[in-house]
Structure 1
Amino acid sequence: MAVFVLDKQKRPLMPCSEKRARLLLERGRAAVHKRYPFTIRLKDLIGGDTQPLRLKLDPGSKTTGLALVREANDGQHVLCLFELVHRGFQIKKALQQRAAFRRRRRSANLRHRAPRFDNRTRPEEWLPPSLQHRIDTVMAWMQRLNKLATITALDQELVRFDTQKLANPEISGVEYQQGTLLGYEVREYLLEKWGRECAYCGATNTPLEVEHIVARSRGGSNRVSNLTLSCHDCNTEKDRQPVADFVATSKGLRRRLKKHGYTAEARLERVQRQQRRPLRDASAVNATRWALFNALKATGLPVAVGTGGRTKYNRQRLGIPKTHALDAACVGPLDALHDWQMPTLTIKATGRGSYQRTRLDKYGFRRGILMRQKQVHGFQTGDMVNAIVRTGKKIGTHTGRVAVRKTGSFNIQTEQGAVQGISHKYCTVIQRGDGYGFHLLPAINLRGDAGQAVA
């Protein structure tokens, strides 16, 4: 990954290579400014020339991909890849728990009071906190990266799945339904909705075909609600049969179901249930896409948009594996993409703690009280620490996010998992907590395998 560079007055310069950053640090010309993402600050330079940089975003319901690229005559060169993991579902769960607590207080502990939601007003463009969190987090990191590099333009995947266009494929004048992008939107939507497996036998890691649940010869339409994915054998055997008859009579299907550990009744019920269910993640992305677009436009930078179909087309045309960060790098018009085989920095939104000082069991009864003070021996939950243990069962070097305890025995969440019972004497702070956890994912080679991560 490229290393971010700041001048003597903490203004962004052009990112440099890891080798150059290492030389600058060894010669004493630079100091480490930030660990995640890794940033150095020069001691003897003010100002400098920069090149056009473009930040590309692939918004998602659970994870948003970010890619910082340099524009050149021979295409775009990837400088950094990021995956921003949201906590929208945790926020929703916390709000539901808070509502349950308040409901119980109204009914059990106090006189009856009617809920107050009827007399509250909301702004015109109000979004639920779990959805607003996605926009706020993406904008926070866009602004943070803009302070570390001179970003001159933005690319956003505005339409992940346009469900209105998918439901009515006869609408004309839509770019992604014409030319070489025809069908990419529908296929990608079906892959997400049906879990990238055969809807009938559950086969995975096999070529899947688009199949009509109700055959066209029986009056079925081309609407996306009537489409599913199946392997070649299931598609051939089903032919024009109704789904219930196919599941009940096909011997070949029963053999394949037994091989994959499913029952015919369970698969039939899943097909019927999934057919009526919209894609929840697609709904979350569609609900926030325009709000994010307007927030990006408010920054004053030029914003270009693309569709999910175009992103997939670019990725497959260039032979690039599928990850959230690489999807972001493939957003929008793209002729060539260079230097994309690099580690990805995963940024997980963890929050800054909770005001709730009491833990509850599954029945709602108190099971423990949290300590009042935030810091213990100079450490605070959420700090990134490096612990070097030279003796005992936990011997080794452990780097990750720390959870403090009053006893001074901490837990460290590393890339390999949680390490419990590390004394504060072995810990050194490498970055103060800011509501996020960080770890590096290894680079992906041309075969799609994980290579060695670059330290």
Structure 2
Amino acid sequence: MAVFVLDKQKRPLMPCTEKRARLLLERGRAVVVRLAPFTIRLKDRIGGAIQPLRLKLDPGSRVTGLALVRESEICDPETGAVERLEHGLWFGELAHRGQAIREALEQRRHYRRARRARKTRYRAARFLNRTRRAGWLPPSLQHRLDTTVNWVERLRRLAPISALSQERVSFDTQALQNPEISGVEYQQGELAGYEVREYLLEKWNRRCAYCGARAVALEIEHIVPRARGGSDRVSNLTLACRPCNVSKGHQPIETFLKGRPALLHQIQAQAQAPLKDAAAVNATRWALFNALNATGLPVETGSGGRTKFNRTRLDIPKTHALDAACVGTVDQVRDWNRPVLAIRATGRGAYSRTLTFNNGFPRGYLMREKRIHGFQTGDWVRAEVPKGKKAGVHVGRVAIRRTGSFNVQTPGGTVEGLSHRYCRVLQRADGYGYAFQPKPDTEDARRAA
């Protein structure tokens, strides 16, 4: 994974290799600024040569893929065509906490309803004075937009990014439901069929709708056969393995599943239900596109079908980060098999001062102080315990206590009851948790695709 580099005046320079960063630190020419993403600052240099860098995003409802690539051009000796070559420098996967926000708001709504129900005096209804500003998004989706834009700005402060690429729509639901719409690029030529197939794979959980088989070749199957008037609309399509597809043939689904009424009802209901993840992505695609345009950098967009086409053509396994590297116009991608920084949005705590039982009554009070002995929950610390049962070096996120006895969450588990005297801050809490994922397993990732 490339190391971000800042000059003496904290302006971004070209990322360097881990080996070069280690030599600069050993020779005293640089200091560490951040551990995740790992960043150093040079002591004896101002400015430097800049090469074109592009930050590519694959927005998802739960995880957003990030890929920082260096662009160059090569000439094909046979055809003479100029191709865009991308070198992978840094990859990240940003996990959102939209579901946690939704659950917290739902709990708050129950608390408010119970509190108002306990009051016996009459109060006039106030629901008519609630208005929403233009461009309003639900808090769970607004969080997804804000965290994505936040990381774009963070990476711009760490690297001289000159262009952005965004997968603006994973699935164009209007075009999927109306295949006769013309003028859409992926409906023509070599991209035809990629959008529909990828949508169905996500909607039907990558398994046969009839027998539930996984990790087998799946075929697109018409619920109402075309021979009986069925259409090509996505609401009439599902996935089936070859034996089930042949066995069903031109039979109506009611006849084929005559002895399994529960499965028949499930398939009919799931066929009409929209894909929630696609709806969440589509709800924020234009807001994210406008926010990226506001940065002043050129923004390239692409569809989910083009992303999958690029990934399949280049024989790259499927992960969120590598999907981001395949967004937009891609001719070749090199150095993509790198570790990935997993970024998890954890929040910055809660306003509530108590924990509650299921019925809403308090069951304990939380600390009023945010910091104890200079530490706060979420800090990345290094604890060096000299003796005892917990002797050793423990590195991870800390959870503070008023007594000064802290818990440190390490990759191997949680170490409880460490004194604050043994702890040293490596990186302050910033609302995110970090973990380093190894290089993707090529065979497993390709089977999942």
Taking the aligned partners of 1:221 and 1:392, their CA distance within structure 2 comes to 71
| Aligned residue-pair number | 436
Question: Is the Cα contact below 8 Å between 2:318 and 2:445 reproduced in 1?
Answer: no
Residue 193 in 1 paired to residue 203 in 2? yes
Which residue of structure 1 aligns with residue 361 of structure 2? 365
Residue 319 in 1 paired to residue 315 in 2? yes
Which residue of structure 1 aligns with residue 82 of structure 2? none
Alignment of 1:32-181 (within 5 A): 32-74=32-74, 75-109=85-119, 111-114=121-124, 116-181=126-191
What's the C-alpha RMSD, in Å, of the aligned pairs?
A: 1.8
3-state DSSP of counterpart to 1:197: coil
Shift in alpha-carbon separation, 1:394–1:204, aligned structure 2, 3 A: farther
Taking the aligned partners of 1:413 and 1:179, their CA distance within structure 2 comes to 52
| C-alpha distance after superposition, 1:269-305 (max 9, x if no partner) | 3212211211111100000000000010011100010
The one-letter code of the counterpart of 1:53 is L
Shift in alpha-carbon separation, 1:430–1:216, aligned structure 2, 3 A: same
Q: How far 1:215 moved relative to its partner?
A: 1.0
Residue 405 in 1 paired to residue 401 in 2? yes
Unaligned runs of 5+ in 2: 75-84
Shift in alpha-carbon separation, 1:269–1:402, aligned structure 2, 3 A: farther
Shift in alpha-carbon separation, 1:234–1:339, aligned structure 2, 3 A: same
Which residue of structure 2 aligns with residue 258 of structure 1? none
Taking the aligned partners of 2:190 and 2:359, their CA distance within structure 1 comes to 56
The one-letter code of the counterpart of 1:29 is R
Shift in alpha-carbon separation, 1:221–1:40, aligned structure 2, 3 A: same
Taking the aligned partners of 1:325 and 1:274, their CA distance within structure 2 comes to 29
Alignment of 1:245-260 (within 5 A): 245-248=255-258
Q: How far 1:391 moved relative to its partner?
A: 5.1
| C-alpha distance after superposition, 1:159-184 (max 9, x if no partner) | 11110000001111110111110000
Identity, % of aligned positions: 65
Mean Cα displacement is larger for which, 267-276 or 73-82? 267-276
Residue 301 in 1 paired to residue 297 in 2? yes
Scaled by the length of structure 2, the TM-score of the pair is 0.93
Question: Is the Cα contact below 8 Å between 1:106 and 1:112 reproduced in 2?
Answer: no
Taking the aligned partners of 2:393 and 2:229, their CA distance within structure 1 comes to 64
| C-alpha distance after superposition, 1:9-43 (max 9, x if no partner) | 11111100000000000000000011110000000
Taking the aligned partners of 1:390 and 1:187, their CA distance within structure 2 comes to 58
| C-alpha distance after superposition, 1:92-148 (max 9, x if no partner) | 111121122111111114534355342122211111111111111111110110011
| C-alpha distance after superposition, 1:331-367 (max 9, x if no partner) | 0000100001111001111111011011112222211
Q: Which aligned segments of 4 or more residues in structure 1 are displaced greater than 6 angstroms? A: none
Q: How far 1:268 moved relative to its partner?
A: 3.0
Residue 332 in 1 paired to residue 342 in 2? no
Scaled by the length of structure 1, the TM-score of the pair is 0.92
Taking the aligned partners of 1:14 and 1:128, their CA distance within structure 2 comes to 38
Taking the aligned partners of 2:218 and 2:6, their CA distance within structure 1 comes to 49
Taking the aligned partners of 2:305 and 2:394, their CA distance within structure 1 comes to 42
Shift in alpha-carbon separation, 1:69–1:94, aligned structure 2, 3 A: same
Unaligned runs of 5+ in 1: 250-263, 451-455
Which residue of structure 1 aligns with residue 231 of structure 2? 221
Question: Is the Cα contact below 8 Å between 1:201 and 1:267 reproduced in 2?
Answer: no
Taking the aligned partners of 2:173 and 2:87, their CA distance within structure 1 comes to 33
